[in-house]
């Protein structure tokens, strides 16, 4: 999809199986279209196409290409980049180091790459550039066995650069090839990449004479360079200073782990027979050792240094951490986006690439469309927070930094009350309005069980409607203010882990959210006091809410505060004139307290590293919606059957509300 600053974003379809064109096209229909409907409804959708050599040859035959163009037009999709890295099979068989073959010393690699560009110029829309990513020249193991390959590589890159230049002139498209540095390859580090291009320029006069560096540049893969312990800012500055074109930015993340006994044992789950998972050992920006594959590293019994860290070339999902004892290298990806924010236009082709879905350990694997949607959410949130995408770009709802004062990079010139394009829905999501029915149910139960408001005659315990509605409205305002303050407090954490949330994605400013939360809290608490609630109860409720919001990420015991908020709200209702704390009320709040503590403990795992976030999130939503059942049971036990029925009805109402606004 097209974003700000001329950026085009796609996910790479190399995550799907497809070696023939028929298989590739089937994957586009089976997977790409469902994702497209979820993340880009009503707008043009970009595809990062992966074509094997066989699929490319088949697409070029007969009317296959014309039929594909019609398909793209029918579904309002377009192709701006092609992954031309793997020449042959890429799924379901041993790939390992053969992914680099044939390398750039061979005519097969040249012919394949030129054919990809010939296809691309017929697919890319008018006014849009086209890119192809390719292998990092060769694998170091190949070069060691045949040092003469380097001269052939330079000659072949020159021939390919000339072919791309000719296609660009003929088509009018800005076309460029990106060599992708990768661990243990001829182009491995940024320094080696610059040296390689300088050697090519020295050995082939045509590079400068024919300005071939306009057409042949670098595909910067964040996972690969993070594995090398590189600084994204320093590396990207170095590439720019060398005059190298940044053809494409691969948005990807790698594993990191301490190589102690627990780390080594956990890494065994990532050993698999398909892909090469290089391991680099280092500390900070210093590299001590490299292993060609993960089993080689695990087989080495040499004791690790206390400050050693292993970084493993295993692409892991962008939207969630891989789980203890692992970390990931999203900090490198975020640094690359920071650099792009400071250098608008330096690279306009961005591609998410987590091709390892089939070989991920089961706890990290969501259904493929769900994973891709989550990665879009994370990426678009991170881009929007840097002004590189508009707030609400996705058509979907939405180093553990706990410091809430961290810069979250929201647009600085935005009006504090701005909701950008997200409208009132943003504020309902911040307020967790999906939980309002459970709040209303709690208020009704508290009024009846405390007898704070005498029941109307002949209503089987149901209180008068006006006091009930006023108490519910005030309580929902308090709840909304507390929930919104929660996002204000979590802004730093969300900037790293939940950038699709409203504040980090720039839908509202942190200051604007804090202002609205303050108004909601003051109005709600003032309303309760005006109805006759005790001031002490109101102040205690406010203090508990704010304490929870600001310390819940740091203290697991904060679940007690979360449950305490519901209990104190019930107490505030019971403190209304005529109310009290009879045994039935106390038993009810005790049951409510235990339920909320248990629910909150589950909720804490929703975005813990390695947790099945989607399943936990859905479970927490359901459990929140079932809170009114506790109210209904308590009311039935005292014979208040009409209020009990009303509370029971709040369960389906709550599930409906959760479809319209966030609850967790």
Whether 189 has a pLDDT exceeding 80, the answer reads yes
Q: Name the band, by pLDDT with cuts 50, 70 and 90, for residue 253.
A: very high
| Residue 88 φ then ψ, to 5° | -120, -140
Whether 141 has a pLDDT exceeding 60, the answer reads yes
Beta bridge partner(s), residue 311 = 256, 280
* Mean pLDDT calculated for residue range 251-277: 95
pTM beyond 0.85:
no
Instruction: Write the CB contacts of 623 (distance below 8 Å, at least 6 apart in sequence).
Output: 599, 602
- Please report, for residues 228, 242, 254, 353, the alpha-carbon distance to residue 221 in angstroms, rounded to integers and kept in the order given: 11, 18, 10, 9
Give the per-residue pLDDT at 413: 32
Kindly state the percentage of the chain with pLDDT values over 70.
Answer: 89
Instruction: Write the CB contacts of 473 (distance below 8 Å, at least 6 apart in sequence).
Output: 527
Give the per-residue pLDDT at 452: 56
Give the per-residue pLDDT at 661: 66
Whether 412 has a pLDDT exceeding 50, the answer reads no
Cis peptide preceding 325, ω within 30 of 0:
yes
Whether 499 has a pLDDT exceeding 70, the answer reads no
Q: Name the band, by pLDDT with cuts 50, 70 and 90, for residue 509.
A: confident
Cis peptide preceding 71, ω within 30 of 0:
no
> Residue 336: how many CA atoms within 13 Å on its side-chain side?
29
**Range 623-656 burial, b when 16+ CB lie within 10 A, else e:** bbbbbbbbbbebbeebebeebbebbbebbebbbe
* Mean pLDDT calculated for residue range 326-350: 96
Here the tokens at position 662 are 């966030």
Give the per-residue pLDDT at 613: 41
Give the per-residue pLDDT at 620: 59
Nearest to residue 125, comparing CAs of 62, 68, 78? 78
Kindly state the percentage of the chain with pLDDT values over 90.
Answer: 73
How many CB atoms within 10 Å of residue 110?
19
Which strand ranges, in their side-by-side order, compose the sheet holding 130-134? Answer: 8-11, 349-352, 246-251, 216-221, 175-179, 130-134, 77-83, 45-50
pLDDT digit string, tens, across residues 536-570: 999 999 999 999 999 987 787 888 999 999 999 99
Give the per-residue pLDDT at 398: 37
Of residues 219 and 322, the one with the higher pLDDT is 219
pLDDT digit string, tens, across residues 364-386: 888 899 999 999 999 999 999 99
Instruction: Write the CB contacts of 429 (distance below 8 Å, at least 6 apart in sequence).
Output: 397, 398, 502, 661, 662
Q: Is 284 left (phi over 0), alpha (psi -120 to 50) or beta?
A: left
Give the per-residue pLDDT at 42: 87
Q: Name the band, by pLDDT with cuts 50, 70 and 90, for residue 591.
A: very high
Alpha-carbon 303 to chain mean position: 36
Give the per-residue pLDDT at 218: 98
Give the per-residue pLDDT at 517: 95
SS3 (DSSP) at 175: strand
Q: Name the band, by pLDDT with cuts 50, 70 and 90, for residue 598.
A: confident
* Mean pLDDT calculated for residue range 113-138: 97
Q: Name the band, by pLDDT with cuts 50, 70 and 90, for residue 461.
A: low
* Mean pLDDT calculated for residue range 335-363: 94
What is the C-alpha to C-alpha distance for residues 50 and 56, in angstroms, rounded to an integer?
Answer: 9
Q: Name the band, by pLDDT with cuts 50, 70 and 90, for residue 148.
A: confident
pLDDT digit string, tens, across residues 47-103: 999 999 999 999 999 999 999 999 999 999 999 999 999 999 998 899 999 999 999
E strands of 347-480, at which residues?
349-352
Dihedral, CA atoms, 590, 556, 430, 324, nearest 10 degrees?
Answer: -140
Q: Please tell me the chain's helix, strand, coil percentages from 3-state DSSP, rounded to the nearest 5.
A: 55, 10, 35
Here the tokens at position 551 are 């310390």
Residues shown for the chain: 664
Contact between 391 and 505 under an 8 Å Cβ cutoff? The reply is: yes
What is the C-alpha to C-alpha distance for residues 189 and 196, in angstroms, rounded to an integer?
Answer: 10
SS3 (DSSP) at 453: coil
What sign does the CA torsion over 75, 79, 80, 82 have?
A: positive
Whether 215 has a pLDDT exceeding 60, the answer reads yes
Q: Name the band, by pLDDT with cuts 50, 70 and 90, for residue 494.
A: confident
* Mean pLDDT calculated for residue range 125-139: 97
Q: Name the band, by pLDDT with cuts 50, 70 and 90, for residue 411.
A: very low
Whether 607 has a pLDDT exceeding 80, the answer reads no
pLDDT digit string, tens, across residues 190-200: 999 999 999 99
- Please report, for residues 49, 245, 491, 554, the alpha-carbon distance to residue 614 in angstroms, rounded to integers and kept in the order given: 27, 39, 21, 23
Give the per-residue pLDDT at 422: 39
Query: What's the chain's average pLDDT?
Result: 88
Give the per-residue pLDDT at 451: 83
Give the per-residue pLDDT at 659: 74
Number of H helices and E strands in the chain, helices first, is: 26, 13
Give the per-residue pLDDT at 454: 52
Whether 397 has a pLDDT exceeding 80, the answer reads no
Give the per-residue pLDDT at 221: 98
Helix (H) or strand (E) holding 273: none
Q: Name the band, by pLDDT with cuts 50, 70 and 90, for residue 161.
A: very high
Whether 403 has a pLDDT exceeding 50, the answer reads no
SS3 (DSSP) at 566: helix
Nearest to residue 194, comparing CAs of 140, 231, 249, 246? 246
* Mean pLDDT calculated for residue range 452-463: 55
Here the tokens at position 391 are 């707030």
What is the C-alpha to C-alpha distance for residues 507 and 33, in angstroms, rounded to an integer?
Answer: 27
Q: Let me know the angle formed at the C-alpha of 75 by 73 and 80, rounded to the nearest 5 degrees.
A: 65
What is the C-alpha to C-alpha distance for residues 33 and 45, in angstroms, rounded to an integer?
Answer: 9
Dihedral, CA atoms, 606, 609, 612, 617, nearest 10 degrees?
Answer: 10
What is the C-alpha to C-alpha distance for residues 183 and 313, in angstroms, rounded to an integer?
Answer: 8
Instruction: Write the CB contacts of 354 (distance below 8 Å, at least 6 apart in sequence).
Output: 15, 252, 253, 315, 316, 317, 318, 371, 375
Whether 453 has a pLDDT exceeding 60, the answer reads no
Nearest to residue 275, comparing CAs of 192, 353, 196? 353
């Amino acid at each position: 999809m097209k974003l700000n600053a001329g950026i085009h974003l796609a996910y790479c379809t190399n995550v799907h199986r497809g070696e023939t064109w028929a298989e590739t096209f089937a994957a586009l229909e089976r997977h790409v279209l469902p994702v497209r409907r979820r993340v880009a409804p009503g707008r043009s959708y970009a595809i990062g196409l992966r074509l094997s050599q066989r699929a490319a040859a088949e697409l070029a035959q007969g009317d296959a290409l014309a039929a594909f163009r019609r398909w793209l037009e029918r579904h309002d999709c377009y192709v701006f980049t092609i992954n031309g890295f793997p020449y042959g099979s890429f799924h379901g068989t041993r790939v390992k180091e053969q992914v680099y073959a044939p390398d750039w010393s061979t005519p097969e690699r040249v012919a394949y790459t030129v054919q990809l560009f010939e296809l691309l110029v017929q697919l890319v829309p008018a006014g849009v550039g086209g890119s192809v990513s390719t292998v990092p020249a060769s694998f170091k193991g190949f070069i060691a066995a045949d040092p003469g390959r380097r001269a052939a590589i330079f000659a072949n890159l020159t021939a390919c650069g000339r072919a791309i230049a000719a296609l660009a002139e003929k088509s009018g498209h800005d076309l460029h090839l990106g060599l992708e540095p990768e661990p243990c390859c001829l182009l491995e580090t940024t320094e080696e990449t610059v040296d390689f291009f300088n050697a090519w320029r020295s050995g082939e006069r045509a590079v400068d004479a024919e300005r071939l560096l306009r057409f042949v540049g670098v595909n910067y893969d964040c996972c690969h360079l993070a594995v090398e312990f590189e600084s994204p800012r320093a590396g990207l500055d170095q590439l720019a200073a060398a005059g190298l074109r940044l053809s494409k930015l691969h948005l990807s993340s790698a594993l990191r782990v301490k190589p102690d006994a627990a780390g080594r044992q956990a890494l065994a789950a990532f050993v698999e027979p398909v892909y090469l998972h290089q391991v680099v050992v280092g500390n900070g920006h210093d590299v001590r050792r490299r292993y060609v594959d993960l089993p080689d590293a695990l087989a080495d019994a040499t004791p690790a240094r206390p400050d050693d860290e292993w970084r493993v070339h295993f692409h892991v999902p962008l939207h969630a951490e891989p789980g203890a004892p692992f970390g990931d290298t999203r900090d490198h990806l975020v640094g690359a986006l920071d650099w792009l924010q400071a250098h608008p236009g330096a690279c306009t082709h961005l591609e998410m690439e987590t091709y390892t879905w089939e070989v991920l350990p089961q706890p990290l694997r969501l259904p493929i469309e769900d994973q891709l949607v989550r990665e879009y959410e994370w990426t678009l949130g991170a881009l929007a927070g840097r002004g590189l995408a508009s707030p609400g770009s996705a058509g979907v709802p939405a180093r553990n930094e706990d410091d809430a004062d961290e810069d979250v990079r929201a647009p600085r010139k935005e009006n504090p009350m701005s909701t950008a394009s997200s409208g009132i829905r943003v504020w309902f999501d911040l307020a967790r309005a999906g939980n309002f029915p459970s709040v209303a149910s709690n208020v009704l139960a508290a009024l009846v069980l405390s007898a704070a408001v005498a029941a109307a005659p002949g209503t089987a315990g149901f209180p008068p409607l006006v006091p009930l509605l006023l108490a519910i409205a005030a309580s929902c305002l308090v709840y909304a203010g507390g929930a919104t303050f929660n996002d204000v407090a979590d802004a730093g954490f969300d900037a790293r882990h939940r950038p699709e949330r409203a504040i980090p994605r720039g839908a509202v400013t942190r200051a604007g959210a804090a202002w609205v939360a303050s108004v909601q809290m003051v109005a709600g608490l003032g309303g309760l006091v005006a109805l006759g609630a005790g001031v002490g109860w109101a102040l205690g409720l406010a203090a508990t809410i704010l304490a929870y919001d600001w310390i819940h990420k740091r203290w697991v015991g904060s679940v007690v505060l979360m449950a305490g908020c519901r209990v104190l709200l019930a107490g505030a209702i019971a403190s209304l004139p005529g109310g009290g704390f009879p045994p039935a009320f106390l038993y009810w709040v005790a049951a409510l307290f235990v339920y909320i503590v248990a629910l909150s403990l589950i909720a804490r795992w929703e975005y813990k590293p390695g947790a099945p976030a989607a399943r936990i999130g859905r479970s927490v939503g359901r459990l929140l919606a079932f809170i009114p059942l506790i109210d209904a049971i308590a009311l039935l036990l005292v014979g208040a059957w009409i209020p009990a029925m009303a509370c029971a009805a709040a369960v389906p109402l709550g599930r409906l509300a959760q479809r319209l606004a966030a609850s967790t």
